Amino acid sequence: MKETRIVEKHPLAVRWFHWINFPVLMVMIWSGLLIYWANDIYEIKLDSTTLIKFFPKAFYDALDLRARLADGMAYHFTFAWFFAINGLLYVLYLVMSGEWRFIVPKKSSLGEAWKVLLNDLFIKKYTHEKAKFNGAQRLAYTSILIMGFGSLLTGLAIYKPIQLSWLTNALGGYGAARLEHFCLTLGFCAFFLVHLLQVIRAGWNNFRAMVSGFELEEVADNPPEASEELTPIIDDNTPTQPTTL
C-alpha cells in the first residue's frame, strides 16, 4: 500500500524572512515609484519611436502616484532599513545553517534551468532531478539575492552620493546608479510575476511548505526506509515537488 510522508522543506527562519520581505519589498517598490514620478525620464526607444514609456499617465493615475515625492522619500528611507536588515539576516542565516547549498547554482544548473524552461513553456517535457530546488530555481533564488544586494548598493549610491562617492563611482556615477536601481526594480517585478505563476501552478502542497514548512509526499510501495522516520530532515537527495520558481 502507498504511504505518505511529511517532509520538512522550508526552515522556520526562511519562512519568516520570506513573508517579511514580501510586504516590505512591495512598500519599497510603491514608495520608489512615488520618488521616480518626480523625474520619470526612462523609456525604451527604437530609433526615435518610444516603445515603452516608464510610465504612462494612466499608470500614475491608477496607482495615485502623482506629486507625492516627499511621502515617497519618507516611506522609502524608513522601509529600506527593514529591507536591508531582513535581507542581511537571511544571508547570514543561509551561510550559518548551510542552507546556501540548496540555493547556490551548481555546474549543471544552467543546463537544467533551460530544460525546466522548455518544460514550463510546454515545449519539451522534462522531469527534474529529485532535489529541493531545480536548476532554474537555484538560478532564480540566487539571482534575486544578488539583485536585492544590488538594490541596496545602488540605493545607497544615490542616497549618499558624496559621503559614499567611492560606491557611486564604482557603479558608474549617479545617473547610472539611479538607472541600475530602476532596472533592478523592474527585475523584482518580473520575478514576482513568474514566481506567482509558478506557485499557482505548483499547487497547494508547495505553497503550504512556505507557510507551514512541510510537504506531503507519496512514497513508492513500501520502500524500506519509509517506515523508519516520520519526518526525515530533507537533504539534496530527498525527493520533493514539481518545478516551482
Partner 1 sequence: MPKPPKSSSTLTPEQKKIITRRNFLSFATLGFGALGGVLGWNWVRKQPSVDGTVAPLRTMLETNGFLNETVLYSNAHLAPEYPRSAAAAEPRTNGDVGLDEDIDAGDWKLTITDTKSGKPLELVLADIMALPKTEIVFDFKCVEGWNEIQHWGGVRLSEVFRKYDLPTDFRYVGMATPDKAYYVGLDMASALHPQTLLAYESNGQEISFEQGYPLRLIVPVKYGIKNIKRIGSIILTNERPPDYWAEQGYDYHAGL
Write out the residues near partner 1 by the rule CB under 8 A: 1-4, 6, 15, 19, 23, 35-36, 38-39, 41, 69-71, 73-75, 77-78, 81, 127-128, 130, 160-165, 169, 174-175, 178, 203, 205, 208, 211-218, 230-231, 239-242
121 vs 230 by CB, closer to partner 1 = 230
Spatial neighbors of 92 by CB under 8 A, at least 6 apart, are none
Distance CA 124, CA 117 (A): 9
Spatial neighbors of 174 by CB under 8 A, at least 6 apart, are 157, 158, 161, 168
3-state secondary structure of 34: helix
To the nearest whole angstrom, how small is the minimum distance from the Cβ of residue 95 to partner 1?
Answer: 25
| Residue labelled with grid coordinates 499608470 | 59
To the nearest whole angstrom, how small is the minimum distance from the Cβ of residue 180 to partner 1?
Answer: 14
Terminal Cα distance for the chain, rounded: 32
Q: Are 31 and 72 in contact (CB under 8 A)?
A: yes
To the nearest whole angstrom, how small is the minimum distance from the Cβ of residue 65 to partner 1?
Answer: 14
16 vs 100 by CB, closer to partner 1 = 16
111 vs 203 by CB, closer to partner 1 = 203
Distance CA 175, CA 32 (A): 16
For residue 114, give the C-alpha cell: 533551460
To the nearest whole angstrom, how small is the minimum distance from the Cβ of residue 211 to partner 1?
Answer: 5
46 vs 230 by CB, closer to partner 1 = 230
Distance CA 158, CA 147 (A): 16
To the nearest whole angstrom, how small is the minimum distance from the Cβ of residue 3 to partner 1?
Answer: 6
33 vs 139 by CB, closer to partner 1 = 33
